[in-house]
Amino acid sequence: MRSRLYPVFKYTVIALWACFVAGPLFWAMTTSFKNANAVQGGPTYIPWAQYEPTLTGWRNIFGGAGGVDVVGPFVNSAIVTVAASAISLALGSLAAYALSRYRFKLGFIKNSDIVFFVSQRIMPPVVLVIPFFYLLQWGGLLDTIPGLVIVTVALLLPIAVWVMVDFFNGIPREIDEMAMLDGCPPFQTFLRAILPNSLPGLTVAAMFCAVFGWNDFFFAFRLTFTEVQTLPQAVVALNSSVPPWWTLSAAALFGVAPLILLALWVERLLSKGNLSGAVR
């Protein structure tokens, strides 16, 4: 009896959780095709049956009346996210490989470098924003894309190191030894032997970096003013005393769509895979 009820209970919980997660997306999708009268007339969910769909909200996010053009902020967010993620993966992979293959100790704290990297994500953003502000002001990088990329790298680098250390720890050290016996110095060993076996880990780290970089609002809001605006800032700019829910919903869907497409594209790479045949 228990074995029969368990699958029912499991799939019921999964279905309820899926509805809970997909509910806000479904609400945003239906609201994005409504106008003011449909939104203020009460909850409706079925187009054509309960309300007449319209593209007003979608026109507004591309510079329509009462809206804001999100194309420029979208491009800025894409540039900052891609550049910061690439730099974080490159530097984070090198640092993670060193932390995986060598042991560092500061006093009584073992693996103190890993503790240092992870601690950078523990601090609240408000603690870091003032030092970042004065640092970028000193370098003339306030309200610029390069300045925002530097700050974003500082936020994403601990994530890349933390994820990649775990994957490098799972790669047998015999691979390093065989590569070195073939005459490869440590850096070539990393590039030719270790990195090709770490593509799933790089994919996971890239996904984390892309999500955190794309969704960052606080630092972009505090370190940019008029010259640079990211997509989260553009979405917040739509808010007012009477929020245009149809436009906000369309902007939210437009903002989350790249991450959904990216997740679907790399889904098959999100598993660690195996290293069978890697060791001679």
Domains and CATH numbers, the chain: 2-54 (no CATH), 71-269 (1.10.3720.10)
pTM of full prediction above 0.75:
yes
Cα(118)–Cα(129) distance, integer angstroms: 18
Judged against a pLDDT cut of 60, whether residue 197 lies above it is answered with yes
Q: Cβ(171)–Cβ(205) under 8 Å? A: no
More confident residue, 32 or 65: 32
**Lowest-confidence region among 97-111, 173-187, 200-214, 242-256:** 97-111
Residues facing 47 on adjacent strands: 51
Residue 274: what pLDDT? 43
